[in-house]
Structure 1
Amino acid sequence: MKLHILTRNRVIGIICLLAAITIGLFISLGMSSGEENNEVVFTIDTYEVKEAEFNAILQEKKALTTSYFKQTYNVDYSENFWTTTYEGENPLEYAKQQVMDQLLLLKIEQILMKENEIVSDISYDSFLKNLEIENIDRQNKIKNNEPIYGPKVYGTLEYYSYLHSINYQKLVDKLTQEALAVLSDDAIQQMYEEMKQLYFHKGYNFKYEKITIVNDINSKEILEKVQQLTATKDISVEQAVASLAATVQVEELALNINEASKDDTLSYYLNELFTDSNEGDFNEIDTKGNELVMYRLLEKQDKGFEKFDDVKSAVIQIHVKGQLEQKVSQRLSQANVQINENIYNKLVIE
């Protein structure tokens, strides 16, 4: 990716020396266009990113930047925060680089959307017109007691993110349909075999033991002894507990994550824990109120994979998304990015 930063003096010099030659570089002297926030901050290939778009995202980087400098340099926000350099790193420049990285990626994706006729205009001016139309439409629906989905009024960045996500999915859907038209079932089947473990595995059903003891001075030692005895003597937890003459509660339970409610955090935690465990494994001893608890996985039943015919479209879509991400990365590495230094340097976080 080529970055060209042209200063005012360099541009004037080129104009003076080569006035009759068309220069294939982005040249901007930072002159006022008469429209507020309408200066070009940078171009990517032939597309412009203006001050209003860059600045809208920049203002949202305040919290992220202050958090980063707090964690990295233990620096608290102050009046001189944005103009101070901490071990060679300046908060404002850090924030602006974050915006550059984000916008370069977004713009490449938007360029691909335009090339694939998902959108006709990727300018920020066009986006703002769409935002205004959307919010007027929502207000009219509210006045007419018609249902709306989402917020009553979209904020600028909220709608920017929403609209980009919708259009990106439209691009994926278009490319998926194109791929379905040319790929054979054998090719799609091969893709399925390669990705099914990651994307289409149904998971496991589990049987496990919950082992609980009242938390006192010797409790952790007792549970560790239970673990040791079951491993070295090949006996059950109940037998290990009996040999220690300890007051330990042992419950045999089952877990099918498909039957758990969305707010059942313990079940989701155990499902993840057991998925990465082998039969017979104990987990770390944990404190629950006035008790110590540990779990032992007894049985891990593989539920298999989703059938190919049921996920054929999903296979194509995953394949297309992977190819699209590679294309975005390639286009980004080859993009001709030219920064208007005069405007870029004037941007600040308010």
Structure 2
Amino acid sequence: MAKYLATLLLFVAGLAYWMGWVPWAQPLKTDKAPPTVLAKRMDIAPVLPLSGEVAPAFQVDVKPEIGGKIKKIHVIAGQNVRKGEPLVTIDDTDLLNERASAEAEIAGARLRVEKILGNFSRAKQLFAQKLLSREEYVNLEADYQIAENELAKSLFRRQTVDDRLAKTRVVSPADGTILDVPVNEGQVVVGAASVNSGTNLMSFADLSRLLINAHVNQLDAGKLSVGQLMEVHSPDSSDQDYQARIEFIAPLATVKNNIKGFEVRGVIEGNRESMRPGVSVSIIVPIGKAEGVVALPVTAVFERDGKTVVYVLKGKETECRNVVVGLMDSSHVEIKSGLVEGEEVLMVAPPEPASPKKKKT
């Protein structure tokens, strides 16, 4: 019996220990004071972080105005060129043959004009002396006009061939850099016309003036304005940050990556080698600065009944006080009114007092 009783006591003691009840253990204290912070003066400089992409301010796809086989490519990707420098030469053999044919037509037309002009001049004299009928005179006059018209057509055909020959030499439209050359010598290309887009010979851009394109959330777009400074940094560059200014803010919101916002374009002048088109960049836009203002950590400011409040510690009492906030950065917020420097504020909101229960009647 005693052995059975001892076993039972050991079992009960083990169960009590497993459930966390130890008679000699000290009770846990739960009356720990909440954390506080002192209101102090500091500088608040909020910024708007963005991401964007670099693009040249001027970029075009160079296309031929006439079709044909590429005879010579004069440039390579990455090469800097000046306005008017040759980029591509298209084979002009067929056009030269066509021009020779036009020259032969012109020579023949001139001979016909000269011959008919001689006959017409004699007929004019005879008609004046009334030795030639009016019908014969009119016929010779018409033959002369037809011959002159044929000569004009031949000259126009030669001019058309010369214009096409000039287009076989594709030149740079401005000073800039060749970005890409997707064609090869010997390749047959199609001329750009109203019925087709033509073959892209190369991409050309002016890299002396670069754009920074970004998409800004509709909630943050109102914080930006044209002319505002932007700090641009490329993750691929170890150089210092670039300075840019906002040139354009789209008037119409668009959706990008399922986020509705506005297209923002900044301009950076004076390119460096590390900043190239297509590079992703991080952008910091300063949106204000307040110097030497009373501030609190953002975690010490609360919303209560639609108002912004802080909980000021007065001895052992806590006062809920309305405040007016100003600028805010990632960690602190400016307190414009309702709090003075040095006051102690709770970092956590105190529990709401329980409402008194009504007595039953």
TM-score range, shorter chain: under 0.3
- Give TM-score scaled by structure 2 length: 0.14
Higher helix share: 1
Structure exhibiting the larger radius of gyration computed from Cα positions: 2
Give the number of the structure whose residues are more often strand, by fraction. Answer: 2
